[in-house]
Structure 1
Amino acid sequence: MSEWTLSLTVDRPERTQALAERLGARLRAGDLLVLTGELGAGKTTFTQGLGRGLGVRPGIISPTFVLVRRHPNVPDGPRPGGPDLVHVDAYRLDSAGEVDDIDLEDTVDSAVTVVEWGAGKVEHLADSRLEIVLERAVGAAPAGGATGEPGQEDAAADGTEEEDAEPRRITLTGIGPRWAGGPPPLEPPGESSARGH
């Protein structure tokens, strides 16, 4: 069912955010993004970049204990009148039914919805989605070199992703009619990619 897959390797958190910012600038209301990755993989760092690209109020942090945070568009920001960002942490939710209990269907059409730990729980919310997997990349060249193989997650990861400068592999998979045209252009100099179908 996937339309396309794009893998990129970035060498530090700032580049993760920059890539996400470029993606965020291309998102629109109704877009559903499902983020997957172990603790400390960079999901919240990625979402912070999305927020900048969307032009929402700064200060994005993980919604771990509140489950859902809504970040409104800034009227005098880079995308006046653009969509809000709804940021969800579904780690403590066990099923699609529990996702329904937090009423995401009320905002999914009018905002960009980003769900960390959402795989297998939120796919029913929209006909299309962008699945994003963040992994530590072992053996990856730090800026624009050959991509490495996915690494084992650091058992000591404490969630302080902003301080972790290990390379990351970010794999985006577009699913459904919204993404049928292929991946958006996201690759600046200094990052490597591998496209698949």
Structure 2
Amino acid sequence: MEGTWEYISNSPSETQLLAEKIANFLRQGDLLTLEGDLGAGKTSFSKGIAKGLGVKGNVNSPTFTIIKEYMGRLPFYHMDAYRLEDDSEDLGLEEYFEGDGVTVVEWPSMIEDQLPPHRLDITIKHLGETSRSFTFKALGEHYNSICKEIFDR
């Protein structure tokens, strides 16, 4: 099952609050992908997910480390695939995707062939200096129910 929802955020703090709300519904093995230009708000969204999962401390982009791991009510795996190529299977990404935590992948198009079919794909576009358009594409019933709970109220 697949569904699509749109959301407009007017500030980084609003983006983080939205992500915190979504984090309340996430469970072990969940995967969210974030696609958008540099500065679109991928890291702001990831910070909100981390906060909603109870992660303490600073969360920043894993650009040069590829994967950062944080502990909260569930482990949070923050991945930046920008420097990866589709044949990066020796990194063991499936262990994160099928693991005991929540994974957020920035730049998922770089590893598209390795992504599981069930996930929440999020595309972020600049609308203005602080406003962003979010398109949520739920791939699977679990992600559809999360989006319905958040956006159809």
Same fold (TM over 0.5): yes
Q: How far 1:169 sits from its partner (Å)?
A: 0.5
Q: Tell me which residue corresponds to 2:105.
A: 115
Equivalent in the alignment of 1:67: 66
Matched, 1:101 2:65: no
Q: Distance in 2 between matches of 1:7 and 1:180?
A: 13
**Residue from 142, 145, 148 that aligns with 1:178:** 142
| Paired residue type of 2:31 | L
Evaluate the alpha carbon distance shift between residue 66 and residue 182 of structure 1 in structure 2; reply closer, same or farther with a 3 A threshold.
closer
Task: Name the % identity.
Answer: 36
Distance in 1 (CA, whole Å) between partners of 2:95 and 2:42 is 24
- Which ranges in structure 2 are unaligned for 5 or more consecutive residues? none
Distance 2:145 2:58 in 1: 32
- Structure 1 pair 125/136, CA: closer, same or farther in 2 (3 Å)? closer
Gaps of 5+ in 1: 74-81, 139-164, 188-192
Per-residue Cα deviation, 1:34-61 (whole angstroms, up to 9, x for no partner): 1000000000000000001111233110
Distance 1:69 1:3, change over 3 A: same
Do the aligned partners of residues 24 and 181 (structure 1) sit closer, same or farther apart at CA in structure 2, a change above 3 Å counting? Answer: closer
CA gap 1:180/1:134 in 2 versus in 1, 3 angstroms = closer
> Which stretch shows the higher mean deviation, 52-61 or 16-25?
52-61
Q: How many residue pairs were aligned? A: 151
Q: Which amino acid aligns with 2:125?
A: E
Q: Would the alpha carbon gap of residues 36 and 136 (structure 1) be closer, same or farther in structure 2, given more than 3 Å must change? A: same
- Structural mapping, 1:120-131, within 5 Å: 121-122=111-112, 124-131=114-121
> Quick check: which has more Rg, 1 or 2?
1
SS at match of 2:38: coil
**1:27 equivalent in structure 2:** 26
What is aligned with 1:134?
124
Structure 1 counterpart of 2:49 = 50
Task: For residue 105 of structure 1, report the CA deviation from its aligned partner.
Answer: 1.9
- Cα deviation code 1:124-163 (max 9, x no counterpart): 443410000111125xxxxxxxxxxxxxxxxxxxxxxxxx
Partner of 1:156: none
- 102 and 71 in structure 1: CA distance in 2 versus 1, 3 angstrom threshold: same
Determine the C-alpha separation between the residues in 2 that align with 1:123 and 1:49: 27
Is the 2:34–2:104 contact (alpha carbons within 8 Å) kept by the matching residues of 1? yes
Amino acid at match of 2:59: I
Question: Counterparts of 2:141 and 2:127 in 1: how far apart (Å)?
Answer: 30
Q: What is the RMSD of the two structures over their aligned residues, measured on CA atoms?
A: 2.0
